Amino acid sequence: MKRHGIERQTLAVAVIPILILALLLESYFTYTRFADLDRALFERAKLIVRQLASSSEYPVFSGNQVLLQQQIDTAFSQQDVNSIIVLDADSKLIAGAGGMRNSGERERLENLASKAKDFSAFQEDRNVLRLYQSIVATQIKLDELGNSSAENAPNKALGSVIVEIGKGRLNREKIEMLGLNLFLLLLVLMTTMLIAMRVSRRITRPVLQMNNAIRRIGEGHLDTYIAGNRVLELDELASGINDMVRLLRQDRNTLQQRIDDATQELRKKKEEAEKANSDKSRFLAAASHDLRQPMHALGLFVGELHNRLETPEQRKIAGKVEESVEALSSLLDSLLDISKLDAGIVIPQIQGVDVEIMIQRLVQDFNPVALRKNITLRVRSLNEMVLSDPVLLERILLNLLSNAIRYTPPNGTVLLACRRWGDNLRIEVRDNGIGIPPDEQQNVFREFVQLANSARDRSKGLGLGLAIVDRLARLLHHTLDLHSVPNRGSTFAVTVPRVFGVEDLLAEPGNVPVAVMPKSDRLENLRVLVVDDDMLVRTSTAGILESWGCQVSVGESLEAVWNEYAESHFDLVICDYRLPDGNGLQLADRIKEHCEVPPAFILISGDTSPEILQAVNERDHHLLHKPVRPAKLRSLMLFMLKRRDGTLP
């Protein structure tokens, strides 16, 4: 349906009836007026021709040309008379005026007239009107007494008059009248249109204003106000809209207030959550540190104890204790790792990594475990270099392997396989264990989630392994895939970018602590200074070192060390980072200043803050995190000695 505006509709309503009425009236009046004009002209023409016929009766009878011409001229001088001719009884031209010569028309008129009662006829076209009138002698009755022969005398026509009347003036008048009428019609229409438009504007303008206002309101300008209107309904509409806007404004203010309140609330909640999270991290860090101290000491004590026990029975018990300490220590390690990763202080050292070597090592480590569980550990390795952090990548694979072996039943198979995947290397750890249901596949990466371990058997791990894997993979930007079917097994895959050509040569495997620990014991007579404010740690460390044959000195603070060992020489300083009157780095700096050959320096810290790590790295010291396992300490010490002796670069 075509749509029209109010203006056009009002215009139509106003103009159409007026137009119809005006047209009807105009055509009626024009028609009647034209008919009047035609009739008037016809009557006048008839009068002229009759008059002429009458007045020319005698001249025609008497053949008086002069008189006849006079009569004709008199008639001819009248308005609109184009031409006149007078014919005698034999239709012969006697006299005339104007230029009518159309004999055909004349004959037709004569024929017509001969049939007419009053011996007259007319014929007309658009431009002329021709009238024919017989000249008949005036009848005067002579014989009242019945002279019958007189009555028989034929009423013979003396002749005829034909007058041609021009319609030029009439037509002009008609055209003028028509023009005037049309002008008036136009005037009426224009006036009507003007009035209709004015009236409709009075409606449409406020409607448009309201429309604009509503659009503005729609755009959110709720301060919009619509002025009142002279048209009652529009005024009501305007005030209605104004009321609506006011209500909307109120509602919006209320809503805004609520949103603000809710936002405030949310912000508070968020802050609380953030605070809780950081509290958690701090707690973890602190707890790790505080747990590490005794753990550290315990490990060292147990190590020493193991060395000193003599009976196999005692050694067996000590072995169990060692295992428990080991488990406790690895739990702490995991917790510490998680907290470090969450705290964002682990900065990956990306470099070229020889996958084959790494895998060999892992297999070497896991083979005994697999053997114990009667699990076949199969390897498909590739001689490839990848771009990754060697420690963190190894940690990922280690966790995945340990996880796979843990959840694979005896007689199962665990496959560690590499395959090229475009520019990447995909390292898969596949088992045919219990598998993971699809709805649990995301959960396994969360902390402390262990499927099929509702009893939380500690021998099955802590449930932190996959959480660490997930965090590490994200940190290294390695894609981690999990594909698993319950009771059929799981496949964990990590995709690592490969290194090609030149990068192989540039790769620096230098920092990787890959040195195989030599079996020869070279720690004897090594002069070691142990600095720790914690007496337990101090004594345990000293104990284990002594059991390895080292000459151990101890100190509890910077000042104490300074006072006691200012003049002493040490091969190695093992120092707690946090000391009562400073930190391990300050001690290292001072020793370095005073000694010609500065000792090797191992810092031991419970803190995981990156500042410490950075500072230690800058000075080329070694940092160990508590709790330090005796084996680890020992291998580090051996490594450092080798380097110092020049057996390592």
Binding site for another protein (CB under 8 A): 57-58, 61-63, 136-156
Structure tokens at 325: 């300490």
Q: What are phi and psi of 56, to 5 degrees?
A: -95, 5
- Least distance in Å: CB of 139 to another protein? 4
The rounded distance, in Å, linking the Cα atoms of 518 and 365 is 17
- Closer CB to another protein, 40 or 89, in the complex: 89
- Closer CB to another protein, 16 or 142, in the complex: 142
- Least distance in Å: CB of 160 to another protein? 16
The rounded distance, in Å, linking the Cα atoms of 382 and 496 is 13
- Give, for 491, the enclosing helix (H) or strand (E): strand 489-499
- Closer CB to another protein, 115 or 141, in the complex: 141
Long-range contacts from 453-458, C-beta under 8 angstroms, 24+ separation: 458/327, 458/331
- Least distance in Å: CB of 47 to another protein? 21
Overall residue count recorded for the chain in this entry: 649
- Least distance in Å: CB of 135 to another protein? 11
- Least distance in Å: CB of 35 to another protein? 38
- Residue 413 β-bridge partners: 376
- Closer CB to another protein, 147 or 360, in the complex: 147
Collect all residues with Cβ–Cβ distance below 8 Å to 181 and sequence separation of at least 6.
Answer: 26, 29, 30
User: Left if phi > 0, otherwise alpha if psi is -120 to 50, otherwise beta: which for 146?
Assistant: left
- Closer CB to another protein, 137 or 347, in the complex: 137
- Least distance in Å: CB of 140 to another protein? 5
- Least distance in Å: CB of 55 to another protein? 12
Long-range contacts from 563-570, C-beta under 8 angstroms, 24+ separation: 565/529, 566/594, 568/527, 568/529, 569/527, 569/595, 569/597, 569/599, 570/527, 570/528, 570/529, 570/599
Q: Where are the alpha helices (DSSP H) in 448-596?
A: 465-476, 502-506, 535-547, 558-565, 584-594
Do 123 and 130 touch, CB atoms closer than 8 A? yes
Strands (E), 381-446: 385-388, 413-421, 424-431
- Closer CB to another protein, 77 or 152, in the complex: 152
- Residue 605 β-bridge partners: 625
- Least distance in Å: CB of 64 to another protein? 9
- Least distance in Å: CB of 157 to another protein? 10
- Least distance in Å: CB of 100 to another protein? 26
- Least distance in Å: CB of 156 to another protein? 7
- Closer CB to another protein, 149 or 311, in the complex: 149
- Closer CB to another protein, 57 or 389, in the complex: 57
Collapse the DSSP code of 94 into the 3-class scheme (helix H, G, I; strand E, B; otherwise coil) and give the result.
strand
- Closer CB to another protein, 66 or 232, in the complex: 66
- Least distance in Å: CB of 144 to another protein? 5
The rounded distance, in Å, linking the Cα atoms of 133 and 119 is 6
Q: Which amino acid, one-letter code, is at 461?
A: G
Collect all residues with Cβ–Cβ distance below 8 Å to 350 and sequence separation of at least 6.
Answer: 387, 388, 389, 476
- Closer CB to another protein, 94 or 561, in the complex: 94
The rounded distance, in Å, linking the Cα atoms of 528 and 536 is 17
Q: Pick the closest to residue 451 from 472, 477, 482, 415 (CA basis).
A: 482
- Give, for 234, the enclosing helix (H) or strand (E): helix 232-308
- Closer CB to another protein, 77 or 149, in the complex: 149
- Closer CB to another protein, 150 or 244, in the complex: 150
Collect all residues with Cβ–Cβ distance below 8 Å to 572 and sequence separation of at least 6.
Answer: 526, 527, 528, 529, 599, 600, 601, 602, 637, 640
